[in-house]
Structure formats: structure tokens, C-alpha cells
Amino acid sequence: MRELTYQEVDELSGGNPIAIGLGLGIAVGGVTAGLDYALNSSSFSALGLGLTVTQGGLVGVLTAGGTILLAVPGGAAAGVPALGLAAIIEVTDPLASLAD
């Protein structure tokens, strides 16, 4: 199996591979966070679910964006902080206090 060229990726993504990557990051992050909340929360609430999905989407887009930036020459200066911020948000769970 070979890697796709930039032109092939551009053709497959309809000319906007970065937007597709960020959109997938938001979707996957939001859905997985929402499922985790729904399955593991002791006191389910719509507000809690909404905040969890929002936070998951934010972590997802930061992770996807940071990873995309790492692939760009010179993008590590922005990609590493984006991944670090995603990790900090995931570990500290800042929106959890609003849902209580």
C-alpha cells in the first residue's frame, strides 16, 4: 500500500482536506464524549450532556488541528501547543463544574 500524494488527497476531499479533518475531529470527539457521559454519568442531565459534547468537540478539533499542523513544514510551533491544550482540557474537565 502506498501513501496518497497531496493531489490525490485534494481530489478525494473535494479540495478541502483540512476542513474535513477538523470536522471529523469535532464529530468523533463530540460523539465519544456524549456516549461516555450517557453511559457513565451517575446523574444524567441535558445540560451535562450538552457541555460534555461541546468539550469533546473542542478536544477533537484541537487534536485534529494539532495533528494536521504537525504534518505541515514549520507547523510544529502551533501543532504542539494545540495538542497540549487538548490534553489539558481533557484532563482537567473544566466544564464538569458547570454541569453540577
- For 49-84, the pLDDT digits (tens) are 999 999 999 999 999 999 888 888 888 899 999 999
The C-alpha cell 473542542 sits at 58
For the cut 70, the answer to whether the pLDDT of residue 24 exceeds it is yes
Q: Which three cell numbers stand for residue 50?
A: 450538552
Encode burial over 65-96: b for 16+ CB neighbours within 10 A, e otherwise: bbbbbeeeeebeeebeebbeebeebbeeeebe
**pTM, entire model:** 0.78
For the cut 80, the answer to whether the pLDDT of residue 22 exceeds it is yes
Phi-psi region of 71 (alpha: psi -120 to 50; beta: other; left: phi over 0): alpha
Mean pLDDT in the chain?
Answer: 86
| Confidence at 100, pLDDT banded by 50, 70, 90 | low
Once rounded to an integer, what is the mean pLDDT over residues 16-35? 88
- For 39-51, the pLDDT digits (tens) are 988 888 888 899 9
